[in-house]
Structure 1
Amino acid sequence: MDKGRPSWGRWWGRHCPGWLGPARNATARGVPWRSTLLIAAFVQVGTRFAAHGQPDRAALDGLAEFLLLAGSLLLLVRHRLPRVVAFGTAVAALLYLGGGYPYGPVFLFMAVGCFAAVVAGRRVAAWSAVGLLWAGHLLVAHWLYRWLPPAADGAAPWGQELIVAAWVVAIIAASELGRVRREQLAHARAERAAAERRRADEERLRIARELHDVLAHSLSVINVQAGVGLALLDDDPEQARTALTTIKGASKEALGEVRQVLDTLRAQGRAPRSPAPGLARLPELTEQAKSAGLDVAVSVEGRVSGLPPGADLAAFRIVQEALTNIVRHSGARAARVHLARSADALRLRVDDDGPATGEGPPGGGNGLVGMRERAAALGGEVQAGPRADGGFTVRATIPLRGSSGPGGQDGGTAARATGDDDEESA
């Protein structure tokens, strides 16, 4: 693609992509035209104004005009070639001072060029350019002045060097301050982006956990009842009808809960249309388990009504998943659910007498992982494992303080997502 372009064009095309060829217009939008032209105008006008008060300096001529204009126009590429601009502006300013021309805002384009280099991460180049200008000025003002214009010029007073040194320090300090500020802004943006990604990941995990709990329980009931219905379809049609009725009810409930989750995803910011499930629905849960062939005995210590929404939902889902695992993976026909509320925590225990059916590992799978995640989100824990007598036990502890919303969030954080004091809405 570079065959018809001279060697300097190929070099420029590699180092300044888009400045030559079809991409020129797209790149030109990033060129700082306005600020550069403003600096160039200020330097030209300011230098002429300053020259009136310095009759002992050399008069402004074509070379001085060229150096001032070249140093200013170099700033057009300060974002693309910060090192070149830092040294280029330093050389232009040094040649201007070496010509004995009047002092003025000639240091402005040098300051802007070095500032851009420092902000771009080219700190060594920027400091080297500033050092070059300062050292060159010392040579011109205290040694080379004998052979440079204006004629009969003497050595510059050392007090003037203090002014130049102050300019150098100011340039470096402003550049470093700008670099630090830019890095802080970039770090803040990166942290905000990471926080957004974490929130999105947490939301996806929460939705996946909710859908798993809803579908795993309902489909397990449907699967068991479908088997019962098929087995009794010819011999006991009435019992088969009961099984089909249970399938219809379980599927309807599952569809309703899944629709609630999906509706919230489609319309963030609206209040949920139905309350999140909680321990108040425990009798309904035990009835569903009973229709699947599992008798559930529930015992309660203390008052389990009026729990914080997050804890109430987590407790319901943990019991639901534990009973679902018994139906799917255990040959037990009876289970026991024990709830105990204290001042600061809700403790629950689900036991069955086994044995495992071998259809899946009772201690593995996504169900137990989801239970542990729900409890951990509220600062609690879940322990699950086989008992010595062949059964299986699930124990959970859910703190009640700071669990007013899903995931243990309270106050405004809990309301960050749609109806977040109601995890079912997501």
Structure 2
Amino acid sequence: MSVMPLLAPVRSRLRTVPPLWLDTALAVLVMVVQLWPLVSRTNLDGGPWSPWAYVIVVASALPLVWRRRAPVTTLLVTLSATALYDYVGQVAAQPIWYGGLVATYTVAVYSPRVRGLVMLVVTIAGGLLLVGSSDTALRGVVLFVAAYAIGRATATSRAYAVALEERAARLEQERHVEAERAAERERARIARDMHDILAHAVSLMVVQAEAGPVVVRTDPARAERAFDAIATAGRDAMVQLRRTLSVLKEDAGTRAPRPTLDDLATLAAQASGNGLDVVLSASGEPRPLLPDIEVAAYRVAQEALTNVVKHSGAARADLRLTWQDDNLMISVTDDGRGSGAAFPSGENGLIGIRERAAALGGSATAGPRADGPGFQVLVRLPLAGSA
């Protein structure tokens, strides 16, 4: 069984303890371990140890309390006290390197790499000059190099963890930004859809309502059809508005399908009437479309026909789909008077058509027909991708 999962709660708990408390506890632990031989037995003569031995042991451990705030100073003070241990008279035969090892580890963790290497060289050089036994010198070199290596490994691990946290925070921030942008795009799409739905429905209703009183006495059947068209346009607008606004609900449930090219026949039939005949045709090989492209194609046709009903005074409008290898071309042509300008600044509907096409990587043009009276809207939608 791995030990690391068992140590995880302990490490998590230690992170909540103030660093000064931990360093104080560490200094006390080192002090107790190095004082123990001095208080547990007497010297070879049966007498007490030198009083300076206790002072030096305390002096070698006490600076560890400030090891994080001043790692280099802590190491120098600790090593200076350690170097005096064998020169103050009767002392217990023990190494008092623990404070120096902890201080070396601390320098490796909290100091720049170059400064840490310099302090390691100074520590080893000083130890070799003061230690008389080659075995003791070799053991000291190995221990201090190991303490430094462990410290550098810890520093590298912490730096890597910090880098991962910063990267995770940056990715999270980017995700939030992208989510906000997606929400803005969705709000813009909903606004365009609502504009198209309302403009189309209201235009049809106004045209039919204006024609109704004119023929109510002379042609009751035609007046009845006009009022039926008003009701149908209103119901259709309500259905589409509910469908569009359902995306704003947190719990929308099963959503109704969005409009597709199959609905263009119904759209053409709704726009027809009161002297306007809308003819739908297609050429080329149809193929499945991505949802964004199909909805955009429907909305483009809807807005173009709305403009015909509102502004053209035409007797005939042709809605034509042309399937090409890489594009779907949508053409709405009428024989009326048109608006006389390509994408006029006051025509929000035509501008919306251009924006829809541009959002999918396509293009749109609108203006008077070159082959006779009337107006034409021509839109190109790429088939390879969507917004």
TM-score normalised according to structure 2 size: 0.68
Q: 1:108 to 1:144 in 2, by over 3 A?
A: closer
Q: What's the counterpart of residue 104 of structure 1?
A: 101
Q: What's the counterpart of residue 419 of structure 1?
A: none
Mapped to 1, the partners of 2:248 and 2:346 lie a distance apart of 29
Q: What's the counterpart of residue 346 of structure 1?
A: 328
Q: What's the counterpart of residue 280 of structure 1?
A: 262
Q: Give the fraction of aligned pairs with identical amino acids, expressed as a percent.
A: 32
The aligned runs of 1:146-295 (5 Å cut-off) are 166=149, 169-170=152-153, 173-174=156-157, 176-229=159-212, 240-268=223-251, 270-272=253-255, 274-291=256-273, 293-295=275-277
1:46–1:105 Cα contact (<8 Å) kept: no
1:329 aligns with one of 292, 311, 332 = 311
Structure 1, unmatched stretches of 5+, are 1-30, 72-84, 115-125, 409-426
Mapped to 1, the partners of 2:58 and 2:35 lie a distance apart of 15
Q: Give SS of 2:259's match.
A: coil
Mapped to 2, the partners of 1:90 and 1:33 lie a distance apart of 26
Deviations 1:308-344 (A, max 9, x none): 5444333222111111122223233321122222455
Aligned length: 341
Q: What's the counterpart of residue 295 of structure 2?
A: 313
Higher relative contact order by CA 8 Å / sep ≥ 6: 1 or 2? 1
Q: Give SS of 2:330's match.
A: strand
1:34 aligns with one of 12, 17, 20 = 17
2:105–2:148 Cα contact (<8 Å) kept: no
Mapped to 2, the partners of 1:347 and 1:358 lie a distance apart of 22
1:228–1:243 Cα contact (<8 Å) kept: yes
Question: What is the identity, as a one-letter code, of the residue corresponding to 2:330?
Answer: L
Q: Give SS of 2:101's match.
A: coil
Shift of 1:159: 5.3
Q: Does 1:355 align with 2:337?
A: yes
Q: What's the counterpart of residue 68 of structure 1?
A: 64
Q: Give SS of 2:272's match.
A: helix
Q: Give SS of 1:393's match.
A: strand
Look at both structures and tell me which one has the larger radius of gyration over its CA atoms. Answer: 2
Q: Give SS of 1:298's match.
A: strand
Q: 1:362 to 1:67 in 2, by over 3 A?
A: same
Q: 1:169 to 1:216 in 2, by over 3 A?
A: same
Mapped to 1, the partners of 2:294 and 2:127 lie a distance apart of 86
Mapped to 2, the partners of 1:341 and 1:141 lie a distance apart of 82
2:277–2:317 Cα contact (<8 Å) kept: yes
Deviations 1:62-95 (A, max 9, x none): 4445422343xxxxxxxxxxxxx5x534433443
Deviates more, 1:353-362 or 1:296-305: 353-362
Deviations 1:176-229 (A, max 9, x none): 434433332233223322322232223222222222221221122122223334
Mapped to 2, the partners of 1:233 and 1:358 lie a distance apart of 34
Q: 1:165 to 1:305 in 2, by over 3 A?
A: closer
Q: Give SS of 1:296's match.
A: strand
Shift of 1:306: 5.8
1:329–1:361 Cα contact (<8 Å) kept: no
1:304–1:341 Cα contact (<8 Å) kept: yes
Structure 2, unmatched stretches of 5+, are 1-13, 38-51, 83-95
Mapped to 2, the partners of 1:320 and 1:173 lie a distance apart of 62
Q: 1:58 to 1:307 in 2, by over 3 A?
A: same
Q: 1:38 to 1:229 in 2, by over 3 A?
A: farther
Mapped to 2, the partners of 1:275 and 1:264 lie a distance apart of 12
Question: What is the identity, as a one-letter code, of the residue corresponding to 2:163?
Answer: V
Shift of 1:293: 4.5
Mapped to 2, the partners of 1:185 and 1:313 lie a distance apart of 36
Question: What is the identity, as a one-letter code, of the residue corresponding to 1:203?
Answer: E
RMSD: 4.5
Q: Give SS of 1:394's match.
A: strand
TM-score normalised according to structure 1 size: 0.63
